Amino acid sequence: MSTKSKVLISLIGLGIVDIVIPVPIVALTLIYVVLQRPSWFTDMVRNIYGT
């Protein structure tokens, strides 16, 4: 399974959880990524876009 597929499945799963639970998990994850800039996120982006 490619990285793009894994990311898409993860985002769909987070979206479903976001609908079921009233806490905005996707928004909190986005805030974490923007503020902390974790290395796993930049690695994933480089893997997806091939740079």
Domain membership flag for residue 50: no
Tokens representing 51 are: 């740079």
Domain membership flag for residue 14: yes
Query: Which domain covers residue 25, as residue numbers?
Result: 3-43
Rounded CA gap, 21 and 17, in Å?
6
Q: What is the pTM of this model?
A: 0.54
Rounded CA gap, 1 and 44, in Å?
14
DSSP assigned state of 41: H
Domain membership flag for residue 30: yes
pLDDT in tens, 38-49: 998 889 889 888
Domain membership flag for residue 51: no
pLDDT in tens, 6-38: 989 998 998 888 788 877 777 888 899 999 999
The number of folded domains in the chain is: 1
